[in-house]
Structures are given as structure tokens and as C-alpha cells.
A and B are shown apart, each in its own frame.
Chain A
């Protein structure tokens, strides 16, 4: 950790700003999980943490270690890429499962399954 004192002031300020902003985004995402009322609403909250939070924190990490070791560092880009590509899959599965469950329970605030086009007006 003592190496961090070698960081020049401009980089330290920039890294700090990015880190704090990313942490704030992640916190807001978690707060959303706590505060939003319905399950479908809560689907939206984690994406703030994964898009905004992860990207900002990874940028801070790239900048910090690039300046310290005075070379370009790119492997945080892989973290950003994989997090952005994989989170939606989980969220879609959760959303579909919730939709299925609510339709079986015949809750009224959930849209009906669209009728197949082959038999219009058979009822």
C-alpha cells in the first residue's frame, strides 16, 4: 500500500474522484434494491451498480496502476466487458421467472400472455 504515496497529485485526485463516484453509484444501486416497492422495479436497481459503478471503479484502477507502473493497463476492460455481458442474462432469467409465477397466480397487474395468432377471436 505504501506505493500509493508515489502517485502524483493530479492522478491521485482523479483516481479518488472516479472511485468515490463509482462507490456512490454502487451504493445507490443497493439502496434501490432496498427502497423500490415491487420485484419488477427492483430488476432495474442492480444495473446501476454494474454499469455505472463497475466502469468507474475499473477506470480508477486502470489509471492508478498505469501511472504507478508507467505503462498502459487494459485488463480491467475485460472485467467491464464480462460484467456488462453477463448481468443482463441473470436479470432476464429472473424477470421471466417472476412473470411466469405471477401469470400462474393470475395476478391482475401483470400483462397476459399474448394469444397465439392462429386462433384470433375463438372465445
Chain B
């Protein structure tokens, strides 16, 4: 099975995506999506992504829920900052956080989460010094952001490493 599907999760995701896009479970689309997910799984071998094993699905669900809650909260917070009167501009700034993640996939996930959350933007990660440069819209709460990043780091470490 491994020889046919070198990246099983990726192939399953592609299979489901194709069915969703077509919105049908007719035999024809199932055959086509099986073909596509097998073929593209082989293409991925050429790209050689670093592989990590997903463990503890329960933890993953909890982590996803926590991220969703954070995104909703910071949506409201950033909307408030934007709608502030011109006299009181937001106090923005750069900050560095020490992040000790080796796994490439965990780093990529952390980058996506932090940038997708309004209020924090990922700028640079220094691999040697293991420090991450962020730009935040509300620098007054620097400690809060630091704790949030640390929490994500711990969560990702548990899931991926």
C-alpha cells in the first residue's frame, strides 16, 4: 500500500476534495478522483516534502478549536482598533519571541496560524538563533502575544514532534 500511496493522508485529502468540488459520489467521479489522488501522490515524491506523522487526533481537534477561538477574538479586537477615531492611533510595533521548533511542517503551520490571525504578522524566523520576528498591531499587550505564541509552540510540538 505504501508503494502505491507514498503520502496516504495527502491522497485521501485530494480524493475528498475532488468529490466535494464535483458534489457527486457517482462511480465516474470516484474513479477519476482515485486516479488523480494516486497520480498526484507520486508527483509529491519528486517534491520530497519533509514528512511528519500526525499523532493524537484529539489533541489536534482541541488545538484547532483554540486557534479558531483566538481568531474570532482578535477579529473583534482588530476591528475595534481600525474603527478608532483618528486622534488615537493604534500602538503598533515589532517584537521578537524565542521559538524552538525544528520541524519544518510545524514552523509552516505556526506561520500560517500567526499570519491568518488578524493582529499578528509573521516577518522573519532566524533558524540559528531560533528567534521569530513578529509585527503586532497592539504592542501594549506584548506579554499576551508572547504567551499566545508559546502556547501554539507547545501545542504544535505535542502534535508534530
Give A residues with C-beta under 8 Å from B.
25, 28-29, 31-32, 35-38, 40-41, 43-45, 47-48, 50-52, 73-75, 77-78, 84-85, 87-89, 91-92, 95-96, 99, 110-111, 114, 116-117
130-161 of chain B: CB within 8 A of chain A: 131, 133, 135, 137
Q: Which of A85, A88, A91 counts the most chain B CB atoms within 10 A?
A: A88
Given A37-B89, A75-B20, A88-B115, also A48-B78 (CB < 8 A): yes
Report Cα–Cα, A77/B19, bound state, in Å: 13
Mind listing 8 A-B residue pairs with CB under 8 Å?
A25-B75, A36-B90, A41-B137, A48-B78, A51-B75, A92-B121, A92-B123, A111-B133
CB of B2 to closest CB in A, whole Å: 27
B binding-site residues for A, Cβ under 8 Å: 17, 20-21, 23, 71-72, 75, 78-79, 82-83, 86, 89-90, 92, 94, 96, 111-112, 114-124, 126, 128-129, 131, 133, 135, 137
B80 and chain A: residue at smallest CB distance: A28
Question: B136 — nearest CB in chain A belongs to which residue?
Answer: A44
Residue in B closest to A41 when the chains form the complex, CB atoms: B92
Q: Is the CB of A31 within 8 A of B122?
A: no
Residues on B with C-beta less than 8 A from A74 are 20
Contacts of B137 in A (CB 8 A): 41, 44
Q: How far is the CB of B26 from chain A (nearest CB, A)?
A: 15
Q: Given A38-B92, A43-B135, A111-B94, does the pair A91, B82 have CB atoms closer than 8 Å?
A: no
Q: How far is the CA of A117 from the CA of B114 in the complex (A)?
A: 26
Q: How far is the CA of A37 from the CA of B82 in the complex (A)?
A: 11
Judged by DSSP, the binding face of A is helix
- Name the distance in Å between B97's Cβ and chain A's nearest Cβ: 13
Given A84-B116, A88-B112, A114-B129, check contact A31 B83 (CB 8 Å): yes
